[in-house]
Structures are given as structure tokens and as C-alpha cells.
A and B are shown apart, each in its own frame.
Chain A
Amino acid sequence: MTDHRIVSGDEWVDARRRLLAKEKDFLRLRDELSRERRELPWERVAKSYVFDGPAGRESLADLFAGRSQLIVYHFMFAPEAETGCKSCSFWADNYNGIIPHLNQRDVSFAAVSRAPVPKLQAFAARLGWTFKWVSSGNNDFNYDYHVSFRPQDVERGTATYNYAEQRKAMPDLPGFSVFFKDADDHIFHTYSTYARGLDPMNVAYQLLDLVPKGRDETGLQHAMAWVRLHDQYAT
């Protein structure tokens, strides 16, 4: 028998309505924050970046695919690794199915990793993913947007992640970056989010926030210790 408080239908609805009022307040605050985010200034992208894609070389402008907005996921996959990071793969399971909807809102999407294209393609095939995924193995893109770190930069204290100094010697960390291309083909960096800022883009976590046990990660060595590639869970 459970020791959670059990009530009648009427009492339950009363308690639920009180929480609903707070949930509505929260969504209003979130909408307000989204408005402030859109009011952030932009910075010009001064460098030209060329990526390796399945169809050959592609510039940052090419990744817009005729649209004016581009979302990049910085996917942790080091050149020497055989598989992508399991947490980035968890996030990919969330966005893999929704790209056609984003495209309707003038948004193109691409994941960018440092590993070479054949490794990205083999891993995407294994996990059943079809989103656009290009390699930045030959450019500074993931370094410039503060998700890849050169050991010498970490050592002399010039590496940053999530707008703070990155002291740990990690080669890559995850993030989303957003770019805008105007009618004159000038490209601007409008936004990047890292670390906990990625949380709202993971629907599985939003669903876990609705269940009695929640995310249930406090007893674990680290928060996402339970996460595996989706084909590696014991069934």
C-alpha cells in the first residue's frame, strides 16, 4: 500500500486547480523570457566556415538551405571516437522526428561534430537518425562557439563554456547555437545555450517532471548516469 496522501475526486481537483494556477504563471514568465531573448542584440559572423557534409563541402550559409534561421546542435563526437556522446544521442532522439515542423517556421537544423563524415553517417544509420549532420573536423566552428576546447586554451584560462571559464580538460561539451541570415546574405549569431539551458529541449525530462518519482537521479553517481544509447538498454 502506498503512503502517499490519497483523497476523493473533489479534493483532488481542488488541489490540482491550485497547482494549475501556478503552472499558468510559470508559462507566462517563460513567454516573457522568450520575448527578452528575441530582443538580445546579434553579433556578426565574420569568419567563413566550411563543413564536410554527405554531399561534399558546405558553407555555414549553405546550412540555412534557403531559410533565414538556422539552429545548430553542437554534438559531442571527437574525431578519434567510434560513437557519439550518449547524452547528445539522448537529445538527438528528441529532435530527430521534428525537423519537418521546424522547417515550416523558416528554421533549418543541423548537428555539427568534429568527427569525420563517414563516422557520423555510420552512427546515424545505426541509431536510425536522418537529421542533417556535418563535420567541422577542418574548421574552428565548434571552438569559436565555445563547445570544443584546445588543451592550451584551458591551461591558460581562456576557454569558456556557458559564459564562464572552462577549467576542466574536456575536448567537447554540448550546446545549441542560433544564426540568422538576412536578405543581403549577412549571417548573425543570435543566441547560444549550453549546460542546463539544453534541458527544455529534452521532452523525456519534461515528461519525467510529471510523474511521481520525477527524474529520480539523486542516488546516482551523476545526474545522467542512467542514460544509454537507445539500442543499448537491456530490455
Chain B
Amino acid sequence: MTDHQVVSRDEWIDARRQLLAKEKALLRLREDLSRERRELPWEPVAKSYVFDGAAGKETLADLFAGRSQLIVYHFMFAPDSDAGCRGCSFWADNYNGIIPHLSQRDVSFAAVSRAPLPKLQAFAARMGWGFKWVSGANSDFNYDYQASFRKEDVARGAATYNYASYTDSMPDKPGFSVFFRDAAGDIFHTYSTYARGLDPINAVFQLLDLVPKGRDESGLAHPMSWVKLHDQYETMSG
């Protein structure tokens, strides 16, 4: 028998309505924050970046695919790895199915990794993903947008992640970056988010926030140690 408080329907509705008022207040706060985000200044993208994609060399401008807004996911996949990072793969399972909807709102999407294109293609096929994924192996892109780190930069304290000094030994970390391309073809960096900032882009965590046990990660070695590639879990889904 559960020891959680169990009440009648009327009492339950009363308690739920009180929480609903707070949920509504939080959504309003989030909208204010989104408005402030859109008011952030932009910085010009001064370098030209060229990526390796399915159709050959593609510039950052090409990734916009005729739209004016581009979201990039910095996907951790080092050139010497044979599989992408499992945390990043978890996030990819969240955005893989929604790209056609983003496209309707003048947004193109691409993931960018340092691994060579054939590795990205093989891994995407294994995972059943269809989103655009290009290799930044021959460009500074993931370094410039502070999702990849050169050892010498970390050693001399010049590396940053999530707008703070980065002293870890990981060669890559995850992030989303946003770019805008104006009618004259000039490209601007408008936003990047890293670390916990990625959390709202993961529907699993939002759903787990609704269930009695929550994320249930406090007893683990680290919060996401339960996460695996979706084809590596032992039990069947259902």
C-alpha cells in the first residue's frame, strides 16, 4: 500500500488548481524570458566556415537552406570515436522527428560534429535519424562556438564553456547555437546555450517532471548515468 497522501476527488481538484496557478505563473515568466532573449544583441560571424555534408562542401550560409534562421546542435562525436555521445544521442531522439515543423517557421536545423562524414552517416543510419548532420572536422566552428576545446587553450586558461572558464579534459561538450542570415547575406550569431540550458529541449525530462518519482537520478553516480543509446537498453519498450 502506498504511503502517499490519497484524497477524494474534490480535495484533489482543489490541490491541483492551486498548483495550476503556479504553473501558469511560471509559463508567463518563461515568456518574459523568451522575449528578453529575442532582445539580445547579435554579433557578426566574421569567418567563413565550410563543412562536409552529404552533398559535398557546404558553407554556413548553405546550412540555412534558403531560410533566415539556423539552429545548430553541437553534437559530441570526436574524430577517433565510432559512436556519437550517448547524451547527445538522447537529445537527438528528441529533435529528430520535429524538423519538418521547424522548417515551417523559417528555421533550418543542422547538427555539427568533428567526426568525419562517413562516421556520422553510419551512426545516423543505425539510430534511424534523418536530420541534417555535417562534419566540422576541417573548420574551427565547434571551437569558435565553445563546444570543442584545444588542449593548449584549456592548459593556458583560455577555453570557455557556458560563458565560464573551462578546465575539464573533455574534448567536446554539447550546445545549441542560433544564427540569423539577413537579406544581404550577412550572418549573425544570435544565441548559444550549453549545459543545463539544454534541459528544456529534452521532452523526456519534461515528462519525468510530471511523474511521482520524477527524474529519480539522485542515487546515481551522475545524473544521466542511466542514459544509453536507444538500441542498447536491455528491456523492450512499451
**Interface digits, A90-115 against B, CB 8 Å rule (1 contact, 0 not)?**
10011111111111111110000000
Secondary structure dominating the interface of B: mixed
Of A6, A20, A132, A189, the residue contacting B43 (CB under 8 A) is A6
User: Would you call B5 and A42 a contact (CB within 8 A)?
Assistant: yes
Complex Cα spacing A107 to B226, Å: 14
| Interface size class, chain A | 35 or more
Contacts of A233 in B (CB 8 A): 100, 103-104
Docked pose: A2 CA to B196 CA in angstroms? 31
- A204 to B95 CA separation, bound complex (whole angstroms): 7
Point out the residues of chain A lying under 8 angstroms from B29, CB to CB.
Answer: 26, 29
Majority secondary structure, A binding face: mixed
A-B contact count (CB 8 A): 278
Q: Does A47 touch B at the CB level, under 8 Å?
A: no
Question: A41-B6, A42-B6 in contact; A22/B33 too (CB < 8 A)?
Answer: yes
B33 and A203 contacting across the interface, CB-CB below 8 Å: no
- Min Cβ gap B218→A in Å is 12
8 Å CB contact of B42 from A4, A29, A186, A228: A4
Q: Is A208 an interface residue when CB atoms closer than 8 A count as contact?
A: yes
**12 further A-B pairs in the complex, CB-CB below 8 A; given A104-B226, A106-B213, A203-B98:** A1-B182, A4-B42, A4-B180, A4-B188, A16-B192, A42-B5, A97-B94, A178-B211, A188-B6, A207-B176, A209-B37, A230-B97
**Stretch of A135-143, A149-157, A166-174, A193-201 lying at the B interface:** A193-201
A–B Cβ pairs within 8 angstroms, 21 of them = A1-B184, A2-B180, A6-B44, A11-B41, A19-B33, A19-B40, A26-B33, A29-B26, A36-B22, A40-B15, A41-B4, A41-B12, A42-B12, A43-B12, A101-B90, A103-B233, A107-B208, A207-B201, A209-B30, A210-B37, A210-B191
**Closest A residue to B184 using CB positions:** A1
Cβ of A93 and Cβ of B211 under 8 Å apart? no
B168 at the interface (CB under 8 A from A): no
Once the chains bind, are A216 and B105 in contact (CB under 8 Å)?
yes
Least CB distance from B38 to A in Å reads 6
Q: Which of these, B26, B100, B163, contacts A17 with CB under 8 Å?
A: B163
Query: Does A122 lie at the interface of the complex (its beta carbon under 8 Å from any beta carbon of B)?
Result: no
A93 to B203, CA, bound (A): 11
Residues of A within 8 A of B188 (CB): 2, 4, 6
| Contact residues of A between 75 and 98, Cβ < 8 Å to B | 90, 93-98
How far, in whole Å, are A222 and B22 apart by their CA atoms in the complex?
25
Out of B12, B190, B196, B203, name the residue touching A95 (CB < 8 Å): B203
Q: Is A212 an interface residue (CB 8 A)?
A: yes
User: A34 an interface residue at 8 Å Cβ cutoff?
Assistant: yes
Q: Is the CB of B54 closer than 8 A to any CB of chain A? A: no
CB proximity of A87 to chain B, nearest CB, Å: 11
- Give CA–CA (A107, B204) in the complex, Å: 10
Residue in B closest to A181 when the chains form the complex, CB atoms: B2
Contact A101 B102 (CB under 8 A): no
CB distance from A72 to the nearest CB of B (A): 11
Asked if B204 contacts A43 (CB within 8 A), the reply is no
The answer to whether A208 and B20 have CB atoms under 8 Å apart is: no
> Which chain B residues lie closer than 8 Å to A215 at the CB level?
105
Q: In the complex, which residues of chain B have a beta carbon less than 8 angstroms from the beta carbon of A204?
A: 98, 101-102
Q: Once the chains bind, are B196 and A203 in contact (CB under 8 Å)?
A: no
Query: Cα distance A87–B35 when bound, in Å?
Result: 24
Chain B residues with CB under 8 A of A212:
38, 42, 69, 178, 180, 190
With CB as the reference atom, state the residue of chain B lying closest to A229.
Answer: B100
Q: Is A13 an interface residue (CB 8 A)?
A: yes
Q: Are B196 and A24 in contact (CB under 8 A)?
A: yes
B14 nearest CB across to chain A (Å): 10
| A44→B33 CA distance, assembly (Å) | 38
Q: Which residue of A lies closest to B90 (CB)?
A: A101
Report the bound CA distance from A81 to B228 in whole Å: 38
Q: By the criterion CB–CB under 8 Å, are B37 and A193 in contact?
A: no
CA distance A202 to B100 in the complex (A): 14
The answer to the question of A57 belonging to the interface, with a C-beta cut-off of 8 Å to chain B, is: no
List chain B residues, Cβ under 8 A from A7: 41-43
Is A213 close to B, CB under 8 A? yes
Contact B42 A107 (CB under 8 A): no
